[in-house]
Structure 1
Amino acid sequence: MAFFWQSVVVELKKLWSDGQPVPRMSLNAAPDLNCCLLYQEIQVINCCIARKQRRKAAKETLDSLLKQESIDNSNPRYSNGDSRDSGIYASNSSGDQVLRLGVDHASGNLTLLETGEPVYSPILQEGPIMTAELIKETEELVLRTGSVGAGCSQLLSDMQAFKAANPGCVLEDFIRWHSPPDWSEDCAASNATVGEGSSRRGRLSDRMQTKEGNLWKELWEAAKPIPAVEQTPLYDEDLAVESIFDALEVIEPGKLFQQLLSVILSVCFVAAESVLPADSNLSKLFYDCKDYIIGIYQDDMSKEKLDEICKVYETMEAIVTHPEDALQIMEQPDEKSAENKNRFKLKLNFTGKDRQSLWKRVAKDEKKTSPNDEKKSPEEKNTNFFSNLRERKAALFSKKNAKTSELPSAPPPSALGPFDESEWTIL
């Protein structure tokens, strides 16, 4: 098993080094936080491959644009002051035509306050790719230290990209584009004298006009017109993927098994739901079992939880593969087909040592059956049985304080638990 897992990691490394995404998975989808950590990490690998491909394409586009600019500058037509394509060039505050770099698309009807040129949204650096585990670690770091360094880095990067795409822009232009609520256009005056942070077309919010400790103004003054593709990456794809490979190589067997088991159970749920009738009584019992498994699978796995999951799964398997036999066995009196009932009892007794088993509840219900109930048809009996079962759902799938004397005592748990995470087993 250890050799097989190492082979899987080696294959993932080969795909990464060749720039090939992991097959049968989305290339550019963000990690699905509803999936297991292993699946999220493989999604991160594919996302990093897609980002590197986009960065390479953007770099080639920028190089081609700069090459075209050098050709245009040597053209006498443009050296004599003729106008150039406004989608590629823009006039700065001094009236010179400057090449726009890292442009994505025009930003609606916005125009620069000082030059009147249209505002273009730049291509921005993408943020970090976060798995559920990394999100939790980041939240703990922020709560513990109060650090917002990552947010400042992203804001500075956005400012530099905006300056590169919009020559002649000012801070007010960036705020109008990046944070519209911090800009008000209701104080425009035709000939009135306007103060700092204001223009004839509007004014900044009070928080943006703070002179001391205004982080936005400090970052704007430090920002240089650099397109995103030329900036230092905020997220290192190579480092992120290498850390994933390091973690996969030393993953504990118990943690790997727990994640693989959740995937297998999910596949089984989907397969079973496709063959069960939507409104049948068996489907309702199946979904009760499914909800129970999901409920006990939220925390770390233990031996008792694993045993319960196995018993519930056997019950679900019996429901799907032999639904008629399951109903017939549940209908039979106690003195008939004892061997079959005992065999089915092992599958239905999944509620744990401190829960009353499903079989014993059903047996009690059968003993309480009135003579009138014996005259009912099998269909009516099935309906009554599952109706009683659904009414007792809360008792079936919840802890009970009082222990009944008829339940067998649970065996002592193993000292090492179900998953001995200290060693891999070599087969």
Structure 2
Amino acid sequence: MQINEKMINEKESNSSPTTPDDVHSEIIPTATLLKQLAIGVQTTRIINSMKDLMRSSGDVSPVKERTSLSLSAMKSFVVGEKEDKFASEFGRDEKVMSFIHSLQDPEGHLSERKTRSPFDKSTNITNFTKELHGAPPDSFVTDLAEAIGSLKTLRKMAIFWSRVVVELRRLWCEGQHIPGIPPDEIPNLNSCLLYQQLQVINCCISRKKCRAIATESVESVLRQATNNVDKSPPSGDIVYAKISSGELVLRLGIYKQLENTMLLDTGEPVYTPVLQEGPLLTEDVIKENEEFVLRTGSVGAGCSQLLSDMQAFKAANPGCILEDFVRWHSPPDWTETLTDDQSKAFVVGDNTSPRGHLSTRMQKEGNLWRQLWENAKPIPAVRQAPLYYEDLSVEGILLGFETISPSGFFEQLFLSLVSISVEMNI
């Protein structure tokens, strides 16, 4: 990335100093913040990680340290000792302290900027901001960029980031969402990698909470079913399905009944199952997956998801057949019979279920779907082997934050602030 320092200096000369009251009401980032981050990008290219930057004894900072960092102060950032040590080091940096307080306050929130409606923006400007690969104006990342850009030395920037990572790990362990990041959105590939990874953390927190609820629901149904040994009419969350032999079988992992759809062999209502959610893919993970597929030709991840969906469907719909699953999961691969001279509706009791046929690809010998269906067991999603391990994913991200490349890190923050400037000046 080439940074035009002349442009930054010109903007800086035209900008007026801010007062403490303006700290949280700024709309456009000042040139001073941009310049600090730009210098950070350029002067840390030879430094491998933030840890190396913190350990560096040389003065690689834009300006000299005004106060030295004691060993005990650095230790407090790593092991989370008392807040007074952090306050003594960064107490005069209002943006820094405000940012940390927003992470420590469960009800806290980051500053919000007034942005124009997307309908007011030209297509060219919108596309340009996407190409910058920054972060949304009112996000955790842009507030982080302002906080770090307000610091006067690179070592302080690195130590402050180390403290932020400690707080992020605490939020993860306590199951609290990161403020300024959507709680359950998949990674936005138009944003910088840092923002995508923070989205993954929040989404993993939401998924773990949802899975805990779903697990308790299944366990509750099983407990109620144990007490309902005579399989009397269903009550509460207990729902049975009658299979072709006439036996009542408990449905597990159901989400909701699918309207006007019956199982072909039994005429019982079709229920949509609770499914496992797929992996959360950031741009770096997507690249790794593509390289793996090109190198090995493996498509295992897709098969695992399909098998998981089949098992969940079987658990929610006892007595179902492959055709039932295809009708729900891939409607284009199913054609219903509509004429009288073909097989007519299949009647069971008072229920009518239309007959039809699978697509050509589904009927081919050795079809993968049929092979997977034959191997699928009726297991609700919450009792299956996980397709995606949230703990491993988030731990990998947090470890990556600890050793992130300083130059790449500062570049993402710089571009996020530039993106704000572009949006606010249209």
TM-score calculated relative to the size of structure 1: 0.58
Larger radius of gyration: 1
Name the structure 1 match of 2:381: 228
C-alpha separation in 2, matches of 1:192 and 1:130:
45
Partner Cα distance (2:406, 2:163) in 1: 15
SS in 1 for 2:175: coil
Cα distance change on mapping 1:42 and 1:191 into 2, 3 Å: closer
Report the equivalent of 2:192. Answer: 36
Look up the equivalent residue of 2:364 and give its one-letter code: T
CA 1:63–1:40: 2 relative to 1, 3 Å: same
| 2:217 is aligned with 1:61 | yes
SS at match of 2:241: strand
Counterpart of 1:253, as a letter, is: P
Q: Within 1, Cα distance between the matches of 2:419 and 2:202?
A: 22
Q: Determine the C-alpha separation between the residues in 2 that align with 1:187 and 1:216.
A: 25
Q: Cα 1:117–1:188, aligned 2, differ >3 Å: closer, same or farther?
A: farther
Once the 2 structures are TM-superposed, how far is the Cα of residue 72 of structure 1 from its aligned partner? 1.6
Which residue in 1 is equivalent to 2:27? none
Output the CA distance in 2 between the equivalents of 1:256 and 1:17: 24
Residue 83 of structure 1: how far off its partner (Å): 4.2
- Verify the 8 A CA contact 2:221 2:238 in the aligned structure 1: no
The one-letter code matched in structure 2 to 1:229 is: V
5+ residue gaps, structure 1: 194-198, 274-427
5+ residue gaps, structure 2: 1-156, 345-352
Percent of paired sites with the same residue? 57
The residue aligned with 2:355 is: 201
SS in 2 for 1:168: coil
Per-residue Cα deviation, 1:388-427 (whole angstroms, up to 9, x for no partner): xxxxxxxxxxxxxxxxxxxxxxxxxxxxxxxxxxxxxxxx
The 5-angstrom pairing of residues 288-303 of structure 1 reads none
* Residue 87 of structure 1, CA deviation: 7.5
Counterpart check, 1:248 vs 2:401: yes
Does structure 2 conserve the Cα–Cα contact (< 8 Å) formed by 1:30 and 1:44?
A: yes
Q: Distance in 2 between matches of 1:251 and 1:181?
A: 46
- Candidates 259, 268, 276, aligned match of 1:108: 259
Task: Give secondary structure in 2 for the equivalent of 1:184.
Answer: strand
Q: Aligned-pair distance for 1:242?
A: 0.9
- The 8 Å contact of residues 264 and 354 in structure 2, kept in 1 or not, is answered as no
Other structure's SS at 1:58 match: helix
Q: Which residue of 2 aligns with 1:133?
A: 284
Paired residue secondary structure (2:407): helix
Q: Are the counterparts in 2 of residues 107 and 120 from structure 1 also a CA contact under 8 Å?
A: yes
Query: What is the Cα deviation at residue 136 of structure 1?
Result: 2.2
Q: Matches of 1:169 and 1:201 in 2, distance apart? A: 14
CA distance in 2, matches of 1:155, 1:15: 33
Q: Distance in 1 between matches of 2:208 and 2:238?
A: 27
Whether 1:11 and 2:201 are equivalent positions in the alignment is no
Partner Cα separation in structure 1 for residue 354 and residue 411 of structure 2: 63
Q: Is the 8 A contact 1:188 1:202 kept in 2?
A: no
Match of 1:261 in 2: 414
Q: Which whole-Å CA distance do the structure 2 matches of 1:202 and 1:22 have between them? A: 50
Distance in 2 (CA, whole Å) between partners of 1:29 and 1:203 is: 37
Q: Following superposition of structure 1 onto structure 2, how do residues 77-156 of structure 1 map, counting pairs within 5 Å?
A: 78=230, 83-84=233-234, 88-156=239-307
1:24 Cα shift?
2.2
Give the match for residue 23 of structure 1. 179
Structure-2 separation of matches of 1:200 and 1:262: 57
Change (3 A) 1:218 1:148: same
**Matches of 1:229 and 1:268 in 2, distance apart?**
46
Distance in 1, Cα, partners of 2:294 & 2:259: 38
Matches for 1:170-189 after TM superposition, within 5 Å:
170-186=321-337
CA deviations 1:221-276 (Å, max 9, x no partner) are 11110000111110000111111112111111110110010111122233434xxx
Q: Distance in 1 between matches of 2:304 and 2:191?
A: 30
**Using CA pairs below 8 Å that are at least 6 residues apart, which structure has the higher relative contact order?**
2
Secondary structure (helix, strand or coil) at the match of 2:257 reads strand
Deviation at 1:188, TM superposition (A): 6.5
2 CA distance for matches of 1:3 and 1:83? 63
Task: Tell me the distance in 2 between the aligned counterparts of 1:237 and 1:200.
Answer: 41
Aligned with 1:21: secondary structure? coil
TM-score, length-normalised on structure 2? Answer: 0.58
Per the alignment, residue 217 of structure 1 pairs with: 370
In 2, Cα distance between the equivalents of 1:98 and 1:190?
35
2:5 alignment counterpart: none
* Counterpart Cα distance in 1 of 2:393 and 2:339: 49
Given that 1:163 and 1:226 are in contact with CA atoms closer than 8 Å, whether structure 2 keeps it comes out as yes
What RMSD in Å do the two structures reach over aligned CA positions?
2.3
Contact 1:183 1:202 (8 Å CA) reproduced: yes
Q: Distance in 1 between matches of 2:300 and 2:371?
A: 14
Amino acid at match of 2:304: S
